[in-house]
C-alpha cells in the first residue's frame, strides 16, 4: 500500500525538468503468465489470519499507548510509545488490504477495522477505498492521474527529507479535518466540495482531485465521517477531563506511525517515471520488493508491503500469501530475470539510490 498523508503534501514546484530517465519497457509475458499460473491456489484470503493479526496488533498498540500515558518513568514511556507506534502501524496498514478485498470476502472485517482502528486513528477506510485502485489502473500508474505517485527521483534533493518530515503533521491535521472541516462542510457546500476533493484521500499527488463517492461507498463515507467527527470532539473534550498529556502522547505516537509509513512510502517505488503511461512490467520494475533474508523489512513494511512490486503484479493476492508467491516466482524465473530486477536489499540502499537520482543534472 502507499498509505501516504492526505493534507500535508510535497509541492509539485520541486519537480525539475522531467525528462524520461527510462526507455520504454515491453511487457515480459512469461513473467506475467507465471505470476498468474503459479499462484492460483493461494489467492484466497484466510479469515483466521486477518482477524487474529489485526485484532492482536490493535490490542497490543492500544495497551502500549495506555502504558506510555500512565507510566512515570520517561525512558519506559518512550519505549512503550515506540512499541505502540509499531503495532498500530501494522494494524493501520490493513486499510491497504481492505481496499483490495472482494466485497464478499471476510464479512464484517471492514466494519470491525473501522471501529477499532480507522476511526480511532482518524483514517477510516473510505480515505483509501476508490483511491488506491486508481494507482493500480493500467493507464494511470505514474501519471498525473495517479493519486499515489510523485516523480521523487526527478525532484530536487530537498524534496526527500521534506516528504518524510511533513508526515509529522498528519495526525493533528486529521484531527482538525474531522473536528472542524467536516462540520463546516455540512453547513457550507463549497467547503464540503473542497474538503472532499483535496483532503479526503490518502494521496501524495498535489494535483489529484477526488471525485464524488458513488454507490455503497457514499453511504460508508457518511457514517465514517459522522463517527470520525464525534470521536475527534471526544478527543478534544478529553483535555478537560484528563488534561493534555493523554492526547499529546497519543498524537506523538500517531505521528511516529505516520513517519514510519512515509519512510516506507519513500522506498515503495523508484519514482523514476516522468508522467507517461507504463506497461505492467515497467510498473513492476519501478516498484520495490525487499524479500528475505533481511528481517527488518517485516517491521517497516509489514502486512505484505515488503513485496510491493509483486503486489503490483498480483493486486488481489492476500498479504499472507505473498511470501509463498515470491518463493515460487523467484525459483521459477531465476536470478537475472525480469522478476529479479525489482528485488532490493533494504531501505538504506533504496534511499541512497533515490537521493543520488535527485542530484543528477537534468
pLDDT value at residue 308? 98
Please indicate, yes or no, if residue 3 is contained in any of the structural domains.
Answer: no
Q: Is the pLDDT of residue 1 over 80?
A: no
Mean pLDDT of 103-115: 95
Please indicate, yes or no, if residue 147 is contained in any of the structural domains.
Answer: yes
pLDDT in tens, 250-304: 999 999 999 999 999 999 999 999 889 999 999 999 999 999 998 999 999 999 9
Please indicate, yes or no, if residue 5 is contained in any of the structural domains.
Answer: no
Domain count, the chain: 1
Please indicate, yes or no, if residue 273 is contained in any of the structural domains.
Answer: yes
Please indicate, yes or no, if residue 6 is contained in any of the structural domains.
Answer: no
On whether the CB atoms of residues 147 and 203 are closer than 8 A, the answer is yes
Alpha-carbon distance 144 to 130, whole Å?
17
pTM exceeds 0.75, yes or no: yes
Nearest to 89 by CA among 265, 326, 309: 265
Please indicate, yes or no, if residue 172 is contained in any of the structural domains.
Answer: yes
Output the DSSP codes for 223-275. Answer: HHHHHHHHHHHHHHHTHHHH-SHHHHHHHHHHHHHHHHHHHHHHTTB-----S
Please indicate, yes or no, if residue 118 is contained in any of the structural domains.
Answer: yes
Domain interval for residue 320: 12-358
Please indicate, yes or no, if residue 69 is contained in any of the structural domains.
Answer: yes
Residue 114 vs residues 61, 106, 108, 167, 316: alpha-carbon distances, Å: 15, 14, 10, 22, 20
pLDDT value at residue 184? 97
Q: Is the pLDDT of residue 109 over 90?
A: yes
Q: Is the pLDDT of residue 234 over 90?
A: yes
Amino acid at each position: 500500500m502507499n498509505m501516504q498523508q492526505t493534507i500535508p503534501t510535497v509541492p509539485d514546484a520541486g519537480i525539475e525538468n522531467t525528462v524520461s530517465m527510462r526507455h520504454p519497457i515491453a511487457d515480459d509475458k512469461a513473467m506475467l503468465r507465471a505470476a498468474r499460473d503459479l499462484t492460483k491456489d493461494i489467492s484466497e484470503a484466510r479469515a483466521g489470519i486477518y482477524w487474529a493479526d489485526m485484532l492482536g496488533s490493535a490490542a497490543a498498540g492500544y495497551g502500549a499507548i495506555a502504558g506510555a500515558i500512565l507510566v512515570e518513568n520517561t525512558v519506559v514511556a518512550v519505549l512503550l510509545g515506540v512499541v505502540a507506534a509499531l503495532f498500530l502501524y501494522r494494524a493501520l496498514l490493513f486499510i491497504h488490504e481492505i481496499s483490495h478485498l472482494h466485497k464478499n470476502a471476510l464479512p464484517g472485517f471492514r466494519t470491525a477495522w473501522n471501529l477499532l482502528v480507522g476511526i480511532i486513528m482518524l483514517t477510516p477506510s473510505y480515505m483509501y477505498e476508490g483511491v488506491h485502485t486508481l494507482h493500480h489502473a493500467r493507464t494511470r500508474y505514474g501519471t498525473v492521474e495517479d493519486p499515489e505517485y510523485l516523480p521523487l527521483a526527478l525532484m530536487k534533493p530537498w524534496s526527500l527529507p521534506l516528504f518524510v518530515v511533513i508526515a509529522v503533521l498528519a495526525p493533528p491535521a486529521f484531527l482538525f479535518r474531522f473536528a472542524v472541516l467536516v462540520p463546516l462542510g455540512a453547513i457550507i457546500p463549497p467547503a464540503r466540495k473542497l474538503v472532499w476533493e483535496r483532503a479526503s484521500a490518502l494521496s501524495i499527488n498535489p494535483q489529484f482531485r477526488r471525485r464524488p463517492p458513488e454507490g455503497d461507498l457514499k453511504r460508508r463515507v457518511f457514517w465514517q465521517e459522522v463517527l470520525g467527527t464525534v470521536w475527534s470532539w471526544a478527543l478534544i473534550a478529553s483535555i478537560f477531563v484528563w488534561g493534555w498529556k493523554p492526547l499529546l502522547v497519543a498524537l506523538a505516537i500517531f505521528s511516529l506511525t505516520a513517519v514510519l509509513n512515509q519512510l516506507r512510502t519513500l522506498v515503495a517505488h523508484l519514482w523514476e517515471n516522468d508522467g507517461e503511461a507504463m506497461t505492467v512490467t515497467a510498473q513492476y520494475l519501478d516498484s520495490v520488493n525487499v524479500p528475505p533474508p533481511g528481517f527488518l523489512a517485516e517491521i517497516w513494511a509489514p502486512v505484505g508491503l515488503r513485496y510491493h512490486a509483486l503486489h503490483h503484479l498480483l493486486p488481489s493476492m492476500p498479504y499472507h500469501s505473498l511470501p509463498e508467491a515470491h518463493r515460487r516466482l523467484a525459483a521459477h524465473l531465476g536470478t537475472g530475470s525480469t522478476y529479479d530486477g525489482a528485488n532490493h536489499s533494504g531501505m538504506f540502499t533504496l534511499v541512497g539510490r533515490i537521493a543520488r537520482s535527485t542530484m543528477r543534472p537534468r
